[in-house]
Amino acid sequence: MTINKKIRQRVRFAHRRLREWRMIAKGLLSTRHPVLAHIIPTRRCNLSCTYCNEFDDFSNPVPTEEMRRRIDRLAELGTSIITISGGEPLLHPDLDDIIRHMRHRGIISGMITNGYLLTVERIERLNRAGLEHLQISIDNAQPDAVSKKSLKVLDKKLQMLAEHAEFGVNINSVVGSGIAHPEDALTVANRAVALGFSSTLGIIHDGSGQLQPLKPLEREVYEKIKQLGKKSFARFNAFQENIAHGRPNDWRCRAGARYLYICEDGLVHYCSQQRGYPAISLFDYTREQMRHEFFAPKSCAPYCTVSCVQQIAMIDNWRAPQKPLPRTNPPGLESIQSESSEKQQALAK
């Protein structure tokens, strides 16, 4: 890596950290804006992992102008971070413009990709567009019938990223349902750390986003990666600890308020695993609706494995308890009127 590149990486790292601290401070001061939104520019994927329920092999990309309108609407709602997900986002022909637009609106920009389509030229374009975070999830050491997201196939891409990316890179390894060789997760995590990336461990959920308790070998791998995490800043929190041991989590899911999942049709859903709720167009999604969802308990919360929503919830977990509020109008047009709701709102600025 050239000295210039190293300097640019460091400057961008410092700038990123500053923006992240600002985002956390804004999130702590007020609960009235989304902290994180996942947005889908295409449902199509070039792979077909057998455990995945988030892709197809035929959808057209969302028109770029429509993506810009959705980003503008998320900016109006005060969204701090947008992560582009899919399907495979690199299949969108105007991905760089979409990222540029997010940055233009002052939003922290991230992307989740399977990494297959990365080249040096593509990484340099992502640098220029202003991408700030990229995550690749690697499922195994060798490709198998379940997943081709393998270290063997992707290692060259990781080396390219280590050499050329000016954005932050996180490598997520996984254990759980359908992963044949859990020990591979340790190999992946070690490689990520050796290349200077951050590393996380995901526990794969079933088709409804729910917990499958880890088997003995999976738990052993989990414990080893946790040790590695102490040195490499991999993030292990109380949520994951409970998930690994098959215990329910006591937390307040703020999906629909602090976290929004915007599908390819522009509808707001709780998360990738609870699509269909509330399924309201982003352009009709009101601050009142967000307020309702902030306080609404989610019955799927105790055994949920959707870690990004859990991480966002940590900002507010100490705040007002959740309790369903009366709906006085059809969804999307709620007005919040009861005395108890006023108390709740007073508790949660």
9 versus 85: smaller Cβ distance to ligand SF4: 85
Q: Which is nearer to ligand SF4, 9 or 34 (CB)?
A: 34
CA gap 257, 78 in Å, rounded = 11
How far is the C-alpha of 259 from the C-alpha of 143, rounded, in Å? 33
302/332 with CB nearer ligand SF4: 302
Which residue number, 216 or 276, has a Cβ lying nearer to ligand SF4? 276
Residue length of the chain: 349
Nearer to ligand SF4, 207 or 326 (CB): 207
Q: Write the single-letter amino acid at 329.
A: N
Q: How far is the CB of 87 from ligand SF4 (least distance, A)?
A: 6
Handedness of CA 201, 306, 19, 157 (dihedral sign): positive
Question: Smaller CB distance to ligand SF4: residue 106 or 324?
Answer: 324
Please report how close the Cβ of residue 31 comes to ligand SF4 at its closest, in angstroms. 16
Closest CB 90 distance from ligand SF4, rounded Å: 11
Min. distance of Cβ 51 from ligand SF4 in angstroms? 7
- The nearest distance, CB 309 to ligand SF4, in angstroms, is 4
CA–CA separation, 318 and 244 (whole Å): 23
Please compute, for residue 1, the number of CA atoms within 13 A of its CA located in the half-sphere on the CB side.
Answer: 17
Comparison of 68 and 204: residue with beta carbon closer to ligand SF4: 204
CB nearer ligand SF4, residue 200 or residue 274: 274
Question: Residues in the site for ligand SF4, rule: CB under 6 A?
Answer: 45, 47-49, 52, 54-55, 86-88, 114, 149, 209, 253, 255, 270-271, 273-274, 298, 300-301, 304, 306, 309
Q: Are strands 133-138 and 108-113 parallel, antiparallel or unpaired?
A: parallel
Smallest distance, ligand SF4 to C-beta of residue 4, A? 33
Nearest approach, Cβ of 323 to ligand SF4 (angstroms)? Answer: 16
Report the relative pairing of strands 259-262 and 198-204 from DSSP bridges. Answer: unpaired
Least spacing, CB of residue 3 vs ligand SF4, in Å: 36
Which of the 8 DSSP states describes residue 90? G
Tally of CA atoms within 13 A in the half-sphere of 108 that contains its CB:
23
Q: Degrees (nearest 5) of the Cα angle 50, 54, 56?
A: 80
Compute the distance between CA of residue 153 and CA of residue 278 in angstroms, rounded to an integer. 38
Continuous segment of H or E residues that includes residue 291: helix 287-295
Contact indicator for 147, 183 with CB cutoff of 8 Å: no
Apex CA 82: angle with CA 270 and CA 314, to 5°?
60
